[in-house]
């Protein structure tokens, strides 16, 4: 294991001279049927092996064992000449141990067709657990809409790097992307456009349930965002009752921000918000609802405070915890609230300072480090540059504990991908890889175990894996 290419880098690696060869007669013994099935399905295409999964087997090649001790998401992986054992306290830990095991195998294991072996796993012991409990990525499906299959593929990509949260940005000025049965025109009318005008679309509640289930099977929690009171033109266009004069604005297909606002003084607005949040909460098993709150430039400061004072308790009453962009900081807080920091300045702004002063937990999404929609360089064909260019090294080479002033409760890290310029699955790939694995290692691995030179060498070995999976990644010349 001296030269392993695992990303994120494990907390502890103890190499040995032993090695294990996976053969055609191998079997999997698993205390978790779902994780065992996942591992077998990941191995079968390239190896061609049957790999039966059984709760008990006299000579299992790979054992996935739940034990009564250890951290919630941690695992131990032991590779010896006569077999492999992954131990964990919870299924999530087993799943993460499986991801490490898959990365220990030759890169050709990621092929969709049978490849030549041998399938050698280097010997030794790995003991691992995450630095942060929240390790996320956000996909904006509002500016450009992406269907269920694209989202499922994105979830698969996240989970391979131990990312455990998918934040879906479901509403914005350009489109409303989740069906709300009590307000059917939201999706039917508000979801009919996107940036540039052509296309659009939305998820039925059955579609959304499919996404949630696929994510849960990979130990990924879905966080839905309904952005308000700004970024609401699609809702205002679809629902005349939300407008003070009853006249809906035209559909919007541009990329400017800050011009729209819900009518804070109208009770119809709060009936709408209550209905939407209730339906979204009912189909979201995870603990969080994201209510946006950013760039409400056409909402007065007083109206913003009034709106959030009404809306945040609705989230709590639904049994969920509020997440909002850090502009929510000055407003009265609900218990456990998470403020998502997206600034890119050397010093935090007043809204963040207010969130810190109130004791908000902080989700770090510094735009100049982890915004995946930023260009790598001036030559990158899509993306933005308002927060600067973000190379793979820029996304990797920072310490979350030193980003903000003074002590604070950092719940985790999330890498957002806004899609004003992102129109295809290949566009998602280009901006996501190789930077997302960099962010994943920042969020998972202990700071002392991380260094750019080591990461770059390990990451370079993942290029062939992505090629086999059809990932159209950016060939960052500083890595590959």
Under 8 Å between Cβ of 159 and 8: no
DSSP H helical segments within 108-184, as ranges?
148-159
Cα–Cα distance for residue pair 93/444, rounded to 1 Å: 13
The residue written with tokens 């098993």 in the block is 285
Tokens read off for 359: 């004791």
Give the sign of the dihedral formed by CA 87, CA 93, CA 94, CA 96: negative
Query: Which SS3 state, helix, strand or coil, does residue 168 take?
Result: strand
Class of domain 134-448: alpha beta
Give the pLDDT score at 134.
Answer: 98
Render each residue's pLDDT in the chain as its tens digit; 480 residues: 778 999 999 999 999 999 999 999 999 999 999 999 999 999 999 999 999 998 776 677 999 999 999 999 999 999 999 999 999 999 999 999 999 999 999 999 999 999 999 999 999 999 999 999 999 999 999 999 999 999 999 999 999 999 999 999 999 999 999 999 999 999 999 999 999 998 999 999 999 999 999 999 999 999 999 999 999 999 999 999 999 999 999 999 999 999 999 999 999 999 999 999 999 999 999 999 999 999 999 999 999 999 999 999 999 999 999 999 999 999 999 999 999 999 997 777 899 999 999 999 999 999 999 999 999 999 999 999 999 999 999 999 999 999 998 789 999 999 999 999 999 999 999 999 999 999 999 999 999 999 999 999 999 999 999 999 999 999 999 999
Residue 251: DSSP 8-state: P
In a 3-state reduction of DSSP, which class is residue 71?
coil
Radius of gyration of the chain from Cα atoms?
23
Domain ranges of the chain: 12-128, 134-448
Catalytic residues: 295
Q: What is the pLDDT of residue 455?
A: 98
DSSP per position, 263-286: -TT-HHHHHHHHHHHHHHHHT--S
What confidence score (pLDDT) does residue 347 get?
Answer: 74
Strands 165-169 and 175-176: unpaired
Strand 410-417 and strand 75-80: the pairing is: unpaired
Q: What is the pLDDT of residue 56?
A: 76
pTM score: 0.98
pLDDT at residue 1, as a whole number: 74
Q: What is the pLDDT of residue 198?
A: 86
Furthest C-alpha separation in the chain: 76
Q: Residue 438 burial (CB < 10 Å; 0-12/13-18/19+)?
A: buried
Domain 12-128 has CATH 2.30.30.100: no
Contacts of 49 (CB under 8 A, 6+ apart): 22, 23, 24, 26, 43
Tokens of 259: 């011009």
CA neighbours within 13 Å on the CB side: how many for 467?
9
- Among all chains, which residue has been given the structure tokens 């709408």? 272
Residue 437 to residue 68: CA distance in whole angstroms: 30
């Amino acid at each position: 294991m001296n030269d392993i290419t695992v990303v994120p880098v494990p907390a502890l690696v103890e190499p040995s001279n032993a090695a294990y060869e996976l053969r055609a007669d191998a079997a999997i013994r698993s205390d978790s049927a779902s994780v065992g099935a996942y591992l077998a399905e990941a191995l079968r295409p390239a190896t061609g092996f049957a790999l039966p999964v059984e709760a008990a087997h006299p000579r299992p090649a790979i054992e996935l064992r739940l034990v009564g001790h250890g951290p919630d998401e941690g695992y131990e992986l032991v590779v010896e000449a006569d077999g492999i054992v992954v131990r964990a306290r919870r299924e999530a830990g087993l799943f993460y141990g499986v991801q490490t095991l898959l990365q220990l195998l030759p890169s050709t294991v990621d092929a969709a067709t049978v490849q030549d072996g041998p399938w050698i796993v280097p010997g030794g012991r790995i003991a691992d657990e995450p630095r942060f409990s929240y390790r996320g990525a956000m996909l904006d499906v509002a500016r450009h809409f992406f269907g269920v299959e694209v989202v499922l593929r994105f979830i698969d990509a996240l989970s391979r790097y131990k990312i455990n949260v998918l934040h879906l940005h479901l509403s914005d000025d350009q489109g409303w992307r989740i069906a709300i049965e009590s307000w059917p025109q939201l999706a039917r009318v508000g979801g009919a456009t996107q940036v540039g005008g052509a296309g659009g679309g939305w998820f039925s509640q059955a579609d959304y349930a499919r996404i949630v289930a696929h994510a849960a099977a990979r130990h990924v929690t879905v966080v839905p965002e309904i952005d308000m009171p700004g970024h609401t033109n699609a809702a205002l266009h679809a629902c005349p009752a939300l407008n003070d004069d009853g006249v809906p604005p035209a559909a919007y297909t541009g990329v400017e921000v800050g011009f729209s606002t819900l009518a804070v003084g109208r009770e119809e607005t709060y009936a709408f918000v209550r209905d939407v949040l209730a339906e979204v909460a009912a189909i979201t098993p995870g603990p969080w609802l994201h209510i946006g709150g950013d760039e409400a430039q056409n909402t007065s400061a007083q109206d913003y405070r009034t709106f959030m004072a009404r809306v945040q308790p609705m989230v709590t009453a639904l049994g969920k915890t509020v997440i909002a962009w850090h502009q929510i900081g000055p407003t009265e807080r609900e218990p456990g609230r998470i403020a998502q920091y997206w600034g890119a300045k050397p010093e935090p702004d007043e809204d963040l300072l207010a969130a810190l002063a109130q004791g908000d937990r902080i989700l770090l999404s510094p735009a100049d480090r982890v915004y995946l929609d930023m260009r790598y360089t001036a030559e990158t064909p899509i993306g933005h540059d308002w927060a600067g260019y973000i190379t793979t090294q820029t996304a990797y080479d920072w310490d979350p504990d030193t980003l903000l002033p003074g002590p604070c409760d950092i719940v985790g890290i999330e890498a957002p991908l806004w899609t004003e310029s992102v129109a295809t699955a290949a566009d998602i790939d280009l901006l996501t890889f190789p930077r997302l694995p960099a962010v994943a290692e920042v969020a998972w691995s202990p700071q002392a175990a991380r260094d750019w030179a080591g990461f770059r060498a390990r990451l370079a070995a993942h290029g062939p894996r992505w090629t086999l999976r059809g990932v159209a990644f950016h060939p960052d010349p500083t890595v590959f």
